[in-house]
Structure 1
Amino acid sequence: MYIEGFLTAIQKSDVEKARTFVESDKEFNKLNEKTDDAEMKVKITSADLSVAVTKAVGEVMPMAFASAFSEDKEQSEKAIEKTMTSTIVKNLADKDAAMATREVTLNLKKNKDGDYKIVADDNLKEVLFANAKSLEKMFGRK
């Protein structure tokens, strides 16, 4: 899988290999090293999660209203959750999905073997899920 290969190359600080997983119009800047920490700016384009979720909410909302009068609330909630998840996945996989391009600085930390590893933080989340922050704001998180 390309994403796994890309992230593995980034983890190993192999910028040249990482470039092979990205279209030529994307840019990687050199590592900015400082002690055992480093930063790498990446410019990446992927499906926009906030658009996919917003569309899914619109599609699932009628089902949610109908289930408000259901006698089996637990079953209704499970059905809504399942439909919501499958709809988001469908929206993200759509060949006409809205795309988002963003420049993100990945934080890297050198491990005991001297290899850089990506720090699992909000910056990595932004690489993996375009515009996740706007969803958190929309749903009252953070």
Structure 2
Amino acid sequence: MKKFISLFSLGLTAMILTACGGQEASKPVDVVTAFLESVQAGDLEKASTYISKENTSEEFDFTGLKEGNEDPATAALVQGISNNYQFKTPTETAIDENNAEVTVEITSLDFAAAMGTAMQEILGVAFELAAKDQTEEEYNKAMDEKSTEILSNAMTSKDAEMITRDVTLTLTKNNEGQFKIVSNEQLMEAVLGNAKEVEEMFSGM
């Protein structure tokens, strides 16, 4: 690395690097804070930059959630993620040279409650549409449209139930020495409150 002759030059360079908007958060707490702020803003593209690509888990695929926006049902789900999303200052609970744990209190949409409400309404619509004289293609199209509308309304309603919980996120250093969040069940809970209940809701279907 090129040496700078004056302390002024060194200080100026440090200031520029610190001010740079594209700079990666380095400390585990900073990484988690930046990730949660991105989720809060509904920017899953930016949020995904704080997720580890080298440590994947079958429990939860955050990248898949981000890339699934083209599917109307997934888009409705994503729309609800930032709905009144709030969090308190994260705290580091454990760390070694390459791994860390950060705990944070999060308040956000109760996806289990929202999904339960939506499913009840969708079931009622299904019976109504089934009673109409229409082709199967017309029925399926109408059901898709109504289901997406109902899901979107349930996820973004100002009266939607919220849930507050403490979540401990696991972070690990990647090959470049940067801390990244492991995409696992704890991350799923941080993003989708009560998501485990939603999984159980659909497991028998």
Aligned ranges 1:105-124 → 2 under 5 Å: 105-124=168-187
Judged with a 3 Å threshold, the aligned counterparts in structure 2 of structure 1 residues 123 and 74 are, in CA distance, closer, same or farther, namely farther
CA distance in 2, matches of 1:110, 1:78: 46
Aligned residue runs from structure 1 range 1-142, under 5 A: 12-13=26-27, 15=29, 18=33, 21=37, 26-68=88-130, 72-140=135-203
Superposition misfits of 4+ residues, deviation over 6 angstroms: 22-25
Is contact 1:11–1:117 with CA below 8 Å preserved after alignment? Answer: no
Contact conserved, 2:103 with 2:169, CA < 8 A, in 1?
A: yes
Q: Percent identity?
A: 32
Residues in 2 aligned to 1:11 and 1:76: alpha-carbon distance in whole angstroms: 49
Corresponding letter in the other structure for 2:197: S
**More divergent stretch after superposition (74-83 vs 37-46):** 74-83
Query: Is there any run of 5+ residues in structure 2 with no aligned partner, and where?
Result: 1-22, 41-84
Seen in structure 2, the aligned counterparts of structure 1 residues 64 and 13 have a Cα distance that, compared at 3 Å, is farther
Letter in 1 for 2:192: F
Q: Superposition RMSD on alpha carbons, in Å? A: 3.2
CA drift at 1:80: 2.2
Gaps of 5+ in 1: 1-8
TM-score, with length taken from structure 2:
0.54
| TM-score of the superposed pair, with normalisation by structure 1 | 0.74
- Contact 2:170 2:181 (C-alpha < 8 Å) held by counterparts: yes
**SS of aligned partner of 2:91:** coil
Q: Larger % of strand: which? A: 1
User: In the comparison of the two structures, how many residue pairs are matched?
Assistant: 133
Cα distance change on mapping 1:62 and 1:55 into 2, 3 Å: same
Tell me the CA shift for residue 85 of structure 1: 2.8
The offset of 1:72, in angstroms, is 3.4
